[in-house]
Each structure stands twice: as structure tokens, then as C-alpha cells.
Amino acid sequence: MSEIARETSQNRGQDSMTRYALHLGWARPMILAIGLTILCVGCAKVPRQYVEMAESGVTLTSLNAQPEMYRGKVVLLGGAIVEEEEKDQHLWLRVKNRPLDQDYVPHRPVDISGPEAGHYWVVVSKDQIPGGYRHWARMTVAGRVTGTLRLATEPVLALLYVRGWGASPAHDAARGDFSDPNYIPSVPAGVGGEFSGSRP
């Protein structure tokens, strides 16, 4: 084989290798970008439907300041369960507020004795709460404001969606689509004076 033919043959091999390397160089980042997009969408902290339903920027402080303004509206709050009560078919969870970040993940408030460090209640049917909720270190809640207050100052939310983070990933859980999103629970019979404010 002549020297020119040998060089041409080698150049063709390099040319196809160069095109293959360029193709791989372009394909790998594209596959990585698609994979990360799917991963991020699959790991969303709060489903889009609840974010769109919720009043924007509502905090526990604003909810306590104007509870009637938010009556019947959906809000997003974070927190940690500190107490629970069972009444009839419902579970009442007292939640220590943990403000949400831009990704709807709850964190301790900057001032642990300030107004954002207060409490609120979440009511849900006993058979609808995820089984491992007692292991949650924190949770994000989408709930409809009932307009009632417990312990004179703590608003009550009817649960629509909950995302819980456990002490270990095995306890993480999320649940939505709780019965009727328009349902506002009434004050249980025989509860007495622990509720104040207007009744639904």
C-alpha cells in the first residue's frame, strides 16, 4: 500500500473517531440534563396543583393577624408535630410552625420566640394520614383555613396535602387528595370551651 493511501486510511479512521467523540461530548450533557429534569420534577416537595391553589406568601403571622381574611382559602405552612388528639373519625395534629423556604421545605424560624415560632392545628380523617407520621421530624402542609381557632390563638387547617420528612429516609412520605377539598370540619360535639372564634 502506498504511503498516501495509508495516510488517507488513517485519516478516515480519525475523522470517524472525532465525529463519534463530538457526538458523545454532546449526548452526555443532554442525557444528564434530561435525567436531572426528570429527577427534579419527581422530587418536587409540593405538587404544582397545591402551589397554584394556595394563597401566595401567607405566613403563620399573617394568618393569625387576619384569620377571617383567609377563611376557606388554601395556605402552605411547614412545621413539626408536637401533639395529637383523636376525636371521632378525625385526628387533630398540633404543629409547631417552621417557615417554608422557596422550595417549600420547613426550617426553624430565625427568632425561636417570635410570632413565626407559634402553633397551628391540622385536622384530617384518621384513615387518611400516612402510617409513619409519628416519625416525621418536619412536614409541609397544604390546608384549607377553617376559620376556627384552638386554644384561642391557633388556627385550624383542614388537610389537603402533606409531605413529611422522617429522621431517616425510610419514614419520608407524602399524601394528597384527602376526601373533599371543600370540606371544612365542624367543632366536635362535647369539646367545650377549647375553641374560640367563629364556627364554620
Query: To which residue does cell 417552621 refer?
Result: 98
Whether residues 134 and 150 fall in one domain: yes
Whether residues 90 and 189 fall in one domain: yes
pTM (2 d.p.)? 0.66
Whether residues 189 and 124 fall in one domain: yes
Q: Is residue 39 pLDDT above 70, yes or no?
A: no
Residue 128 maps to which CATH number? 2.40.50.140
Q: Is residue 151 pLDDT above 50, yes or no?
A: yes
Residue 59: burial class (beta carbons within 10 Å; 0-12, 13-18, 19+): middle
Query: Which residues contact residue 183 at a Cβ distance below 8 angstroms, ignoring those fewer than 6 apart?
Result: 144, 158
Whether residues 5 and 93 fall in one domain: no
Range of the domain at 34: 1-43
Query: Band of the pLDDT at 34, cuts 50, 70, 90?
Result: low
Query: Band of the pLDDT at 2, cuts 50, 70, 90?
Result: low
Whether residues 100 and 179 fall in one domain: yes
Whether residues 59 and 118 fall in one domain: yes
Q: How many domains does the chain have?
A: 2
Q: Which amino acid is at 91?
A: L
- Sign for the CA dihedral angle at 185, 72, 200, 59 comes to positive
Whether residues 161 and 109 fall in one domain: yes
Whether residues 151 and 175 fall in one domain: yes
Whether residues 99 and 162 fall in one domain: yes
Whether residues 6 and 70 fall in one domain: no
Whether residues 94 and 33 fall in one domain: no
